[in-house]
């Protein structure tokens, strides 16, 4: 009996290990009892074949509760805009005729699906896709359905992120075009700094994307005669490809996530690159990491204030921390003399704030404060001056209400 149990445990460990999500996975989900591969794929708007491609080694016939599966792996497949659940005895031929799409499109959108014989009934295939996927497609996942219903769901809402296109204010008086544009060059040639460029070019939000999205495109480099009506900056594309465990969000003063250094004994700045996301509650974890992840240590967040500015396109949470509340097993914690550090898409690889192009997050153990701002535009999340601290970069009125915590 004992031997059998050991063997079973070893097998269970093996099957979990072999189901490690593909590298490059940008979003994961922890399987609940009653889930099946088709249901999970559908909930995350993936085809069954795409889901399997993202989870090499995963056994769909023995799907175990608690297994972490990948629900977005951009490199492996085209981004699907329209998912369809195959009925009984449908073939590639009958389906493409009925849906008025070409066989080429179907095959391009469904790599790995065989058109020999009938298609597997109940599996999800893709009817329309972006053949060249952007690496950045992960938005907050659609919540899993409560039951694994087998009814056909009409899903043709796209979750893909539109690639920003340069559109020029018609009244622009001076246009610059280059195969390798950069804010530095434009500033040298025309004296216009990044803030002006972002204002004059409504689809631009960051210098970081100039070489990619504005290559050989018109860029307005002097004040337009009749400036376009102000448009709040929109979400376009994360600066990073999101990595699970590095995704944060700001929803309210009680539901948000930020970063902490993995080692509580060390200083903040040297650990910026390996920072770990922590959330205030299960809801925030679910939104960002698919329920696996870290909850902030009890008492760490002493206060939190949430402010949103929809006109400018940013949200922020600011407040005080208790630096003694985050400690290792030996009780060692962050140093009271540590001036802290800055998390942003450059310092912390793979870090994104859900729904926002960029973010800025400082943590200052010495003065006992933290601040997180998620922005659509670099203008509001300027990451070049971290040494100035929360009080200067992200103004708020709740940094000094409570006395500094002990030690």
Ligand X SMILES: *[C@@H]1O[C@H](CO)[C@@H](O)[C@H](O)[C@H]1NC(C)=O
Give the footprint of ligand X on this chain (CB under 6 A).
309, 311-312
Q: What's the Cα-to-Cα distance from 187 to each of 9, 33, 99, 176, 382, rounded to whole Å?
A: 63, 57, 51, 11, 17
Q: Rounded distance, CA 19 to CA 365, Å? A: 39
Q: Rounded distance, CA 280 to CA 139, Å? A: 20
State which residue, 309 or 385, has the beta carbon closest to ligand X: 309
C-alpha dihedral (254, 257, 262, 264), degrees to nearest 10: -30
Q: How far is the CB of 380 from ligand X (least distance, A)?
A: 7
State which residue, 190 or 235, has the beta carbon closest to ligand X: 235
Q: How far is the CB of 310 from ligand X (least distance, A)?
A: 8
List all residues 6 or more positions away from 395 whose beta carbon is below 8 Å from its beta carbon: none
Q: What's the Cα-to-Cα distance from 130 to each of 79, 80, 133, 227, 386, rounded to whole Å?
A: 5, 7, 6, 34, 38
Consecutive H or E run containing 259:
strand 257-260
State which residue, 298 or 311, has the beta carbon closest to ligand X: 311
State which residue, 318 or 367, has the beta carbon closest to ligand X: 318
CB neighbourhood size of 173 (10 A): 12
Query: 243 and 350 in contact (C-beta within 8 Å)?
Result: yes
Q: How far is the CB of 201 from ligand X (least distance, A)?
A: 17
Q: How far is the CB of 154 from ligand X (least distance, A)?
A: 38
State which residue, 291 or 312, has the beta carbon closest to ligand X: 312
List all residues 6 or more positions away from 330 whose beta carbon is below 8 Å from its beta carbon: none
State which residue, 51 or 359, has the beta carbon closest to ligand X: 359
Consecutive H or E run containing 363:
strand 358-364
State which residue, 82 or 199, has the beta carbon closest to ligand X: 199
Nearest C-alpha neighbor of 397 from the set 299, 320, 334, 295: 320
Consecutive H or E run containing 184:
helix 183-190
CB neighbourhood size of 44 (10 A): 24
Q: How far is the CB of 287 from ligand X (least distance, A)?
A: 25
Nearest C-alpha neighbor of 83 from the set 36, 47, 136, 119: 47
b or e along 314-334 (b: 16 or more beta carbons within 10 Å of the residue's beta carbon)? Answer: bbbbbbbbbbbbbeeeeeebb
Give the tokens for residue 112: 């790995």
Consecutive H or E run containing 126:
strand 124-130
Q: How far is the CB of 309 from ligand X (least distance, A)?
A: 4
State which residue, 32 or 195, has the beta carbon closest to ligand X: 195
State which residue, 182 or 309, has the beta carbon closest to ligand X: 309
Give the tokens for residue 339: 């001036």
Q: How far is the CB of 52 from ligand X (least distance, A)?
A: 46
State which residue, 311 or 337, has the beta carbon closest to ligand X: 311
State which residue, 216 or 309, has the beta carbon closest to ligand X: 309
CB neighbourhood size of 190 (10 A): 15
Q: What is the largest CA-CA distance in the chain?
A: 84
Q: How far is the CB of 238 from ligand X (least distance, A)?
A: 22
Q: How far is the CB of 379 from ligand X (least distance, A)?
A: 8
* Closest residue to ligand X in the complex (CB): 312
Q: How far is the CB of 319 from ligand X (least distance, A)?
A: 18
Q: How far is the CB of 375 from ligand X (least distance, A)?
A: 11
């Amino acid at each position: 009996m004992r031997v059998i149990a050991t063997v079973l445990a070893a097998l269970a460990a093996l099957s979990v290990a072999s189901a490690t999500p593909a590298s490059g996975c940008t979003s994961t989900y922890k399987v609940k009892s009653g889930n099946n591969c088709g249901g999970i794929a559908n909930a995350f708007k993936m085809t069954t074949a795409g889901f399997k491609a993202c989870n090499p080694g995963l056994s769909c016939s023995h799907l175990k509760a608690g297994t972490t599966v990948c629900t977005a792996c951009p490199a492996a497949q085209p981004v699907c805009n329209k998912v369809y659940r195959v009925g009984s005895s449908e073939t590639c031929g009958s389906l493409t005729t009925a849906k008025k799409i070409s066989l080429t499109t179907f095959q391009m959108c469904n790599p790995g699906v065989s058109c020999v014989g009938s298609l597997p009934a109940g599996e999800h295939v893709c009817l329309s896709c972006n053949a060249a996927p952007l690496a950045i497609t992960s938005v907050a996942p659609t919540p899993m359905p409560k039951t694994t219903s087998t009814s056909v769901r009409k899903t043709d809402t796209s979750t893909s992120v539109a690639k920003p296109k340069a559109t020029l204010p018609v009244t622009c008086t001076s246009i610059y075009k280059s195969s390798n544009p950069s804010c530095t060059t434009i500033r040298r040639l025309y004296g216009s700094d990044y803030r002006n460029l972002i204002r004059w070019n409504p689809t631009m939000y960051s210098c970081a994307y100039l070489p990619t999205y504005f290559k050989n495109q018109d860029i307005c480099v002097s004040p337009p005669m009749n400036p376009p009506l102000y448009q709040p900056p929109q979400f376009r594309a994360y600066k990073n490809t999101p990595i699970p465990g590095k995704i944060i969000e700001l929803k309210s003063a009680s539901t948000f996530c930020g970063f902490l250094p993995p080692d509580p004994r060390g200083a903040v700045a040297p650990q910026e690159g390996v920072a770990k996301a922590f959330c205030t509650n299960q809801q925030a974890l679910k939104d960002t990491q698919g329920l696996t992840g870290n909850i902030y240590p009890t008492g760490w967040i002493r206060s939190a204030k949430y402010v949103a500015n929809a006109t400018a396109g940013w949200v922020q949470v600011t407040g005080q921390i208790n630096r003694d509340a985050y400690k290792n097993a030996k009780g060692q914690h962050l140093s009271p003399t540590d001036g802290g550090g800055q998390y942003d898409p450059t310092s912390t690889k793979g870090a994104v704030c859900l729904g926002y192009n960029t973010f800025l997050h400082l943590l200052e153990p010495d003065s006992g404060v933290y601040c997180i701002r998620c922005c659509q535009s670099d203008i509001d999340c300027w990451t070049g001056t971290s040494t100035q601290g929360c009080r200067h970069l992200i103004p708020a009125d709740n940094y000094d209400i409570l006395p500094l915590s002990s030690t």
